[in-house]
Amino acid sequence: MSCLTSRWPRVSMLMLCSLGTGGALAQTQTYATPGNYTYIVPAGVTALQVTVAGGGGGGGGYDLLQTGNGGGGGSGALLQGRLPVTPGSTVQITVGGGGGGGTSDSDGNPAAGGNAGAGLGSGGAGGAPGSTGGSGGGGGGGGSSSLVVGAIALQAAGGGGGGGGSGSLGGTAASGASAGGSAPSDANCATGTVGGTGGSPGGGDGGGGGGGGGGVTSGSAGTAGQDGIAHGGPGGAGGSCHLGAVQGLTTSNAGGAGGAGGLASGTAAVTGTHGQVVITPLLATAVPTLGQWGLALLATVAALLAGRRLRRMAP
């Protein structure tokens, strides 16, 4: 029977309903801009439902001779779970950024590797293309996002950057690796590691390698490409992790999306999507005291007596 639909006298029902509706959700907080933040656990909150997503890797640039597309960036990891907390505790939050897209000479920018995504573990920068010819730069790796409270930590890794396109090959460079799939327990989970910097052909002609994603472990660097032989190699994803009492932990590669690779038709590579951290505080369930149970009993008796009196007075 609902407190709102009962036909008992209103005062008695208010006494019963005031015993508590524990477990209700407090206001959810979302952090979606790369950077560092703090969150104070509100009074009465004993658990947090959290989502931590790493940044996506950037896409690789295309070859300006229209014979080689850049590879797409890999997605960041997504971790979700429930954490026991104490009211007044401070939660440290880091939101990882998406890796930058590699550029090509003909897209309005000097050919270069994509910028590294910032994070607890920053992604690696994409490798620059060769100084001759018109190959594309590798995409930057995505940065890792994290949440730390007391002895509990979660870190969602960033995705790898896509390889830059090399000429005289056609086709498309390989996409950066996506993070996720597992987040093993790691004593160093509150510490980030920078992803590898993508390789560059230097004086030769070829696409730059994708940067590795950041995480508790470093994503590998993509290898340098060479015109007529190989596109720039993709960056590897960083490693995710957890530490402490994380309840119902789930992992996937549905974090920040990887950026699209540049197309030889003239479409520039895209920056990876930033990660985010979402916190929903869970209020403690109220347990009635003996005094409250006594009030409930009195309210019940009063309601029954009032009901009998109303029936006697009815014509």
Predicted pLDDT of residue 227: 92
Range of the domain at 3: 1-21+286-308
**Same domain for 210 and 293:** no
Predicted pLDDT of residue 129: 95
List, as one string, the DSSP characters of 210-252. Answer: PPPPPBSSPPPPPPP-BTTTBPPPPPPPPPPEEES--EEEEEE
**Same domain for 78 and 202:** yes
Let me know if residue 315 belongs to a domain. no
**Same domain for 291 and 184:** no
Instruction: Give the closest residue to 281 by CA, choosing from 93, 79, 43.
Output: 43
CB 238 within 8 A of CB 158: yes
**Same domain for 212 and 178:** yes
What percent of the chain shows pLDDT beyond 70? 82
**Same domain for 272 and 151:** yes
Global pTM? 0.84
**Same domain for 245 and 208:** yes
Instruction: Let me know the angle formed at the C-alpha of 39 by 36 and 41, rounded to the nearest 5 degrees.
Output: 160
**Same domain for 111 and 11:** no
Let me know if residue 101 belongs to a domain. yes
Let me know if residue 88 belongs to a domain. yes
Let me know if residue 54 belongs to a domain. yes
81's tokens = 């779970």
Q: Tally the domains of the chain.
A: 2
**Same domain for 263 and 117:** yes
3-state secondary structure of 254: coil
Predicted pLDDT of residue 15: 41
Predicted pLDDT of residue 265: 85
Let me know if residue 80 belongs to a domain. yes
Low-confidence ranges of the chain (pLDDT < 70): 1-26, 106-108, 285-297, 299, 301-303, 305-315
CB 120 within 8 A of CB 52: no
Predicted pLDDT of residue 306: 63
Predicted pLDDT of residue 65: 78
DSSP code for 5: T
Let me know if residue 313 belongs to a domain. no
3-state secondary structure of 38: strand
Predicted pLDDT of residue 287: 53
State the Cα–Cα distance between residues 240 and 181, nearest whole angstrom: 9
In the chain, at which residue ranges do the beta strands (DSSP E only) sit? 29-31, 35-40, 45-53, 78-84, 90-95, 145-149, 152-156, 241-243, 247-252, 276-283
Give 13's contacts (C-beta < 8 A, 6+ positions apart).
3, 6, 299, 303
Instruction: Let me know the angle formed at the C-alpha of 177 by 244 and 184, rounded to the nearest 5 degrees.
Output: 15
